[in-house]
Structure 1
Amino acid sequence: DPSGVLDSTEAVQRAIDAASAAGGGIVFFPAGRYHFEGTLLIRHDRIVLRGEGPQASRLSFTRFAGMTGKSHITFQGDVEEGADILLVEDGIDRATFVEVADATSLAVGDDIAVGWVITDDFVEEHGMSLSWQAFNGTWRPFFRRRVVGLDLASTPHRVFLDVPLRYPAKTRDFASIRKETGYLSEVGIESLGVANAVGWEDAWSELRVHVIDLIGVKDGWVRDVASFPAPDPAAQGYHLQSGGIRVLASKRVTVADCVMEKAQNRGGGGCGYLYEISKSNEILVRDSVGRDGRHNFIQNWDFGTTGCVFLRCSSAGSRTFASISDPVGTPAYNEYHHSLAMANLVDRCHLEDGWYGGNRDGASSGAGHTVTQSVYWNTSGGGEILSWQYGWGYVIGTTDMAVVTLLGPPRSAGTAPADYVEGENRGATLDPPSLFEDQLQRRLSLPEGSQSLP
């Protein structure tokens, strides 16, 4: 119902299910406002939700009860992991292959995860014995990869990866390959407006309510999607209950040309995150705007976020609300929030608030060192960069940004050496202006079949 009067949940879900039964399709929303009292679920490949533009085709959701940790639009894969194939030699940082005793159960094209157990030795190596607790003793997938080659004639067998490792994978920690099946593939949402704000008290009655979730997705996208003021007068002009777009346990997802803003619940418990990435690899967030959330752009929860890029994103108004009775709050930042995010890039972003990464110690169930080997490149906007990365970190080229890397504050504990800084207030002349786009162009110009750049 494009008039926004009738509940469209059942009709739209039927359209999604029909497209799924047909092997894929586009569920199209002509211009209008669509009212949803329930939620939408996409569980099949090649399904796209598409409108005529975020100002023309608008989806408004009203459910809040029982929505903690859920989303109003969910793209849901069903990823399962196979048995361990143990590495017989340590996987080397930036290596394009790993070595195992027997790779005959794998085939070129297989999805795999390379991971290891969070052992006592791994925790101690990083000085996190008093911080990392939540995942100790469990195997975590660090690198979500695809098999691009097998050498079964060598001893040991070699498994070649589509993307290099970005951290040592040690046999000491029972590093292994696990075959993955069940990713949701080639799905997307585009050219739509979305809102799920409700009454103030209702928004604060639940935690971590997102408007769009991509869970267990590969080769997916969110494009040209913008939040808008919820039509319910009780929402008082807010757009979102607490969360915007979340990408969880996924790989090769692009979020582009989006605007998420004005979250109601910006309190503790994971609320107020407008663009959230967790346990995911090779996620590109580009040309997108976050305003008036708690942490507008954030890496959150668990190990295993790596290779993510925030390109030409703009952030303003990050604030933390102490409670339901505090609609003003205190300034906050975009963040690396949890457990050793690796080799990520903030590139040509305009930050009026700022970005933080460091040792959060026992906060957020033992976040500890939140980031390592990541780069801030050509950052502007008048905000702050607070960068205390485990091992090496880099701040290259800024314009009108305060940069804090000196060791000493509690959040810098165990992060020596101080992060490398070059080109403060010289971002306008930085060459290349964008590290990501420069490297992308170099790779695209390589002869077919050649090795990727280091």
Structure 2
Amino acid sequence: MMRILSCLILSVAYFTPAKAQKVTPLWQDFITAKAQGKTPILPDFSYAGYHFSEKEIPSLSGKQVFNVLDFGAKPNDNLYDDDAIQKTIDAAEKNADGGVVFFPAGKFLLAKDNDSTKQIRISKSNIILKGSGSGLGGTEIYQDKMRINGRQILFKPAANAQNRLTAITKNAERESFWVEVENTASLKIGMDVVLKHRSEEFTKLYFSPLELKPQWTRLFGKDGGMLINEIHTIEKIEGNRVKFKNPIHFDLILVKSAPFELLNYNSIEECGIEDIRFTSNWKTYPEAFVHHKNAIHDYAYEAVGMEYVKNSWVRNCEFQDWNEGLFIRSGYQVSILNVNSTGKKGHASVHARTGYGVLIKNCNFNDAQHHGAGTGYSAVNTVITQCTLGTDQNIDIHSGQPFATLYDDIQGGVFYNLGGPEPGHPHHAKYLVLWNFRHQSAKEQHYNFWDLVRRRNYSIALPFLAGFQSNGKVTFENVGINESQGHEVLPRSLFEAQLQLRLTGKNIAE
């Protein structure tokens, strides 16, 4: 099934009649392989989102509420509320079960100076920032002064040191769940671990037979290589064999130069943000956004960071007039739902890196940032589904070899001007899947997905396309699989179909 398609050309419209829809061979292969216990061509992307989408995000009823007004915050008074909001969060963190940090309707003002080290900081589990709605008449949190390289609100544990627990002793197949280890003395059921590896030797095996460009210098040398950083939860231990709850998304082949190891994963969990409109003074900065012009255009006015968070979420929020909206680092089972990006154009919207199972669903990016939602730097199983991008707004595959990424049932967007420095290329490793992607560009586009000549575009290892559609002519080189170009395929959403198959056994494409 793995094959290279050279320069496939087709011009199509956005929508096709229902009679043109058909179940793709890729989906049929997935169904058959799962039934027979074999390895499917497609990754199983269903292990994404809050509790791997097996549970609903909880109701906040019954949780203790900490109202920011009770700690000195006052909306609509043109005075800064940073200290009062932090005091409210600190009080919630002292409560054994955490709590809801509640913002009534009105505008709350942050950032009275340019000190980027000053942040609203959440460092413990079970803290939810809850507003009174993200629309007009709801809650607005506004960053006033410019801060560069400092996210205004940051969820991050106070300490997150990683320690080696054991090493892998046997090869494991992609999409499998079991690994064999040296010993299990430091492991226990329910523990979260990081499967980690980096070596030039494995990198060359992984990408073979694709040629690697010498300018991709982070792949080479004693300390170089593609970084494997998969997060897993231990579900079962039998002797020296360990079963993960979520699948491995690469063929684990032992090499002599460096071990594959399990390390501990420390996080805060059950944290969230709901029903808030975040705004900033980026809208009054006198220059229009220019990609990589300077530090201001790249890193000023950054709204929210979530680092080393598990089973957490952002939902029903708006990010208006930001250079960067939401940054997620080492997130595990995180849901970003019903989020809108609007206002003055900036750099990045929602970016997930170095984690596993971040779900970005039902979000609208509206060309408000240069980069639409995306991933980078060893992130795995990132799912962007049922979202809208603008015309010629690029998806964000930001170098550092993320792998097993799904863009699913997407309206709008393009694949050029991908991010990241050249030493950190390729942009994406194997198993980027573009499923029912409705490409929208003002110009004709040609994508060579393994271009060793041009500096920025493109270096994606043999992506899979199913149901690719466009509003103009789009041509491809170095595609892994391209099924039904020009026609919507079934299932319409690969993520929803894989999730229903896993949870209920039902094939919704039938």
TM-score (norm 1): 0.80
Letter in 1 for 2:177: T
Aligned to 2:398: 337
Q: 1:299 aligns with which of 375, 380, 383?
A: 375
After the TM superposition, which residues 358-373 of structure 1 pair with which residues of structure 2 at under 5 Å, given as runs?
Answer: 363-373=421-431
C-alpha distance 338-405 of structure 1, shift in aligned 2 (>3 A): farther
Aligned to 2:318: 226
| Offset at residue 34 of structure 1 (A) | 0.6
C-alpha distance 124-440 of structure 1, shift in aligned 2 (>3 A): closer
Contact 1:226–1:259 under 8 Å retained in 2:
yes
Moved more, 25-34 or 172-181: 172-181
Q: Alpha-carbon deviations, 1:329-380, whole Å to 9, x = none?
A: xx551132213221111111111x323599x9x9443322524212111122
Contact 1:336–1:357 under 8 Å retained in 2:
no
Letter in 1 for 2:145: R
After the TM superposition, which residues 162-177 of structure 1 pair with which residues of structure 2 at under 5 Å, given as runs?
Answer: 162-172=245-255, 174-177=258-261
1:355 matched to 2:428: no
RMSD across aligned C-alpha pairs, in angstroms?
A: 2.7
1:59 matched to 2:141: yes
| Offset at residue 87 of structure 1 (A) | 1.3
C-alpha distance 387-312 of structure 1, shift in aligned 2 (>3 A): farther
| Offset at residue 298 of structure 1 (A) | 2.3
Aligned to 1:72: 152
Aligned to 1:412: none
After the TM superposition, which residues 52-451 of structure 1 pair with which residues of structure 2 at under 5 Å, given as runs?
Answer: 52-55=132-135, 56-65=138-147, 67-68=148-149, 70-77=150-157, 78-83=159-164, 85-120=166-201, 122-123=203-204, 126=207, 127-128=211-212, 130-134=214-218, 137=223, 140-152=227-239, 157-172=240-255, 174-198=258-282, 199-200=284-285, 206=296, 207-209=298-300, 210-228=302-320, 239-240=321-322, 242-263=323-344, 266=346, 272-290=347-365, 291-300=367-376, 302=377, 304-316=378-390, 333-351=394-412, 353-356=413-416, 363-380=421-438, 382-383=440-441, 386=447, 388=449, 391-401=461-471, 404=474, 406-407=476-477, 416=478, 418-427=479-488, 430-446=489-505
Contact 1:377–1:395 under 8 Å retained in 2:
yes
Aligned to 1:327: none
Secondary structure of the residue that 1:355 maps to in structure 2?
coil
| Offset at residue 401 of structure 1 (A) | 4.6
Q: Alpha-carbon deviations, 1:308-346, whole Å to 9, x = none?
A: 1111111115xxxxxxxxxxxxx5511322132211111
Contact 2:374–2:384 under 8 Å retained in 1:
no
Letter in 2 for 1:308: T
C-alpha distance 105-125 of structure 1, shift in aligned 2 (>3 A): closer
Segments of structure 1 that go 5 or more residues without pairing to the other structure are 229-238, 267-271, 318-330, 408-415, 448-454
Q: Distance in 2 between matches of 1:254 and 1:402?
A: 33
Secondary structure of the residue that 2:333 maps to in structure 1?
strand
Secondary structure of the residue that 1:379 maps to in structure 2?
strand
Percent identity of the aligned residues? 19
Letter in 2 for 1:299: T
Q: Alpha-carbon deviations, 1:409-441, whole Å to 9, x = none?
A: xxxxxxx5x3311222221xx221111111111
Letter in 1 for 2:476: L
1:17 matched to 2:87: no
Q: Alpha-carbon deviations, 1:146-198, whole Å to 9, x = none?
A: 1111111xxxx111111111112232053423332430111010100001233
Q: Distance in 2 between matches of 1:403 and 1:82?
A: 51
Contact 2:199–2:258 under 8 Å retained in 1:
no
Larger relative contact order (Cα-Cα within 8 Å, sequence gap ≥ 6):
2
Aligned to 1:235: none
Contact 1:335–1:356 under 8 Å retained in 2:
no
Q: Distance in 1 between matches of 2:286 and 2:205?
A: 43
TM-score (norm 2): 0.72
Q: Distance in 1 between matches of 2:205 and 2:404?
A: 21
C-alpha distance 440-119 of structure 1, shift in aligned 2 (>3 A): same
Moved more, 200-209 or 249-258: 200-209
Secondary structure of the residue that 1:439 maps to in structure 2?
helix
C-alpha distance 180-385 of structure 1, shift in aligned 2 (>3 A): farther
Contact 1:86–1:174 under 8 Å retained in 2:
no
Contact 1:123–1:132 under 8 Å retained in 2:
no
C-alpha distance 177-439 of structure 1, shift in aligned 2 (>3 A): same
Q: Distance in 2 between matches of 1:344 and 1:115?
A: 18
Moved more, 178-187 or 126-135: 126-135
Q: Distance in 2 between matches of 1:357 and 1:161?
A: 36
Q: Alpha-carbon deviations, 1:184-218, whole Å to 9, x = none?
A: 11101010000123342699653424201110111
Contact 2:167–2:260 under 8 Å retained in 1:
yes
Segments of structure 2 that go 5 or more residues without pairing to the other structure are 1-73, 112-117, 451-459
C-alpha distance 125-191 of structure 1, shift in aligned 2 (>3 A): closer
Contact 2:162–2:266 under 8 Å retained in 1:
no
